[in-house]
Amino acid sequence: MKWIFRTLILSSIVCAMIQTTFANSHEFTTNEHIALPTLPEPVSNNAVASISVDDRVYLLSFMGLGKEKTHKDVHSKAFSLDLSGGTSKLNWRALPDVPASILPKGRLASVAIGINDTAYLFGGYTVDAKHNEISSPDNFSFDIRSQKYTPLANMAVPVDDAVAAAYKERFIYIISGWHNDGNVNLVQVYDTHEDTWRQATPFPGEGVFGHSGGIVNSSLIICDGVKVEWAGKSRRQFLPEPACFRGEIDHTSHLKITWRKIKHPTGKARYRMAAIGSQQHEGVFFYGGSNTPYNYNGIGYDGNPAAPSSALWFYDLSANQWTIETRDIASMDHRAALLIKNKEIDPNTDSKAFLVTVGGMQQNQTVTSAVNVIEID
């Protein structure tokens, strides 16, 4: 974003990652437990969500950046993967393009989140031929049964490169992010029952974009991203912001959040990590990202190419402690991570959990179609 300004493992993977071609001609990434097909085409900075419909779990990918990484490759395509039926029957399917009220239609850095059988999409930004970037006001819900998008009420301040978190299967928190010309510290809360927006307690740190985070019950963990600093009167710099915060949502008022700064796991910020909260593990996972803040093409604001990280962080909410590890797979340019279980693909198997990244960038800023499945149990 801002053109001129502008995979989780708690135990080692037992067997090496292998590539296999199936009848649908897609490549599969597989370990000893599970395999998922690659996307139909490479995409990065895409919004991802999972939903459950009639006991079937779907992974969803919306919008993003194609493999050539120019403004022409910013698109509005969407895809779904039905996890039921066993790995041999899995295949990504194209969905209707995400609608848009402004041109160009494609968007980057949107956020998506699933609540039960519905996916919700918020914000993002457009890029034109002159590299002008506009934070999109468009928000939608998506019904996979009807294959239809329904417009939602406008966010008070449209943002991109934000974090989304769902609370009580009703309220969606959009935390900080970039609005057209600068970062905001707002926490904007969407009520899925009333189709309304309200403001919650602001984010206490620097306004940032490209940060990451997750929620477990009423506990939020938000880390890192990029802040803006001014160098002189007219030149601004985009700098990494190594900072983590824990927010506790008040049980009597969902708009009141008690924030406090927590220890950073490394002291060095990462940008666009894949993160998600896990109730099963009572904590929040952060994977990948890059130590270099970069534009949408993967080139840093300082002119240096960004490199993906293979670092894994886990914040234990009960112990208030970080676990820090590294893994073989390096990936960056994510909006979020997803969690799946073996039994969602095959009911006859166990409940072992996996972290999933859908697309992203690999080494040399290569946009990938890979769907990385990484054991976390």
| pLDDT tens digits along 227-246 | 999 877 768 899 999 999 99
The number of distinct structural domains making up the chain is 1
- Please state the rounded mean pLDDT for residues 184-190: 99
What predicted TM-score, i.e. pTM, was given to this entire model? 0.91
The CA distance from 45 to 336, in Å, is 9
The CA distance from 29 to 38, in Å, is 7
- Please state the rounded mean pLDDT for residues 116-134: 97
Which are the contacts of 77, defined by CB distance < 8 A and separation ≥ 6? 41, 43, 63, 64, 94, 97, 98
Task: Please report whether residue 125 resides in a domain.
Answer: yes
Q: What is the pLDDT of residue 235?
A: 81
Task: Tell whether the model's pLDDT for residue 276 goes beyond 50.
Answer: yes
| pLDDT tens digits along 80-98 | 999 987 766 799 999 999 9
* Strand 257-262 to 244-249 pairing: antiparallel
Task: Please report whether residue 10 resides in a domain.
Answer: no
The CA distance from 124 to 161, in Å, is 7
Specify the amino acid at residue 174. Answer: I
Task: Please report whether residue 110 resides in a domain.
Answer: yes
- Please state the rounded mean pLDDT for residues 50-71: 97
Of the candidate ranges 28-42, 165-179, 205-219, 330-344, the one whose mean pLDDT is the lowest: 28-42
Task: Please report whether residue 1 resides in a domain.
Answer: no
Burial of 299 (0-12, 13-18, 19+ CB in 10 A): middle
Task: Please report whether residue 13 resides in a domain.
Answer: no
Task: Tell whether the model's pLDDT for residue 363 goes beyond 50.
Answer: yes
Q: What is the pLDDT of residue 8?
A: 33
Any idea what the CATH number is for the domain that residue 160 is in?
2.120.10.80
Task: Tell whether the model's pLDDT for residue 26 goes beyond 60.
Answer: no
Q: What is the pLDDT of residue 112?
A: 99
Under the banding of pLDDT at 50, 70 and 90, the label for residue 250 is: very high
Closest CA to 58 of 124, 149, 142: 142
Q: What is the pLDDT of residue 33?
A: 55
Contact 42, 367 (CB under 8 A): yes
Task: Please report whether residue 169 resides in a domain.
Answer: yes
| 3 state DSSP class of 130 | coil
The CA distance from 148 to 31, in Å, is 35
The CA distance from 338 to 350, in Å, is 18
Domain coverage including residue 351: 18-375
Alpha-carbon distances, residue 111 vs 25, 143, 156, 361 (angstroms):
30, 16, 16, 17
29-33, 221-225, 371-375: range with highest mean pLDDT: 221-225
Cis ω for the linkage preceding 104 (within 30 of 0): yes
Task: Please report whether residue 366 resides in a domain.
Answer: yes
Q: What is the dihedral of CA 184, 140, 298, 263, to 10 degrees?
A: 50
Specify the amino acid at residue 62. Answer: F
Of the candidate ranges 68-82, 102-116, 136-150, 222-236, the one whose mean pLDDT is the lowest: 222-236
Task: Tell whether the model's pLDDT for residue 13 goes beyond 90.
Answer: no
Q: What is the pLDDT of residue 29?
A: 42
Task: Please report whether residue 6 resides in a domain.
Answer: no
Alpha-carbon distances, residue 148 vs 118, 142, 241 (angstroms):
11, 6, 38
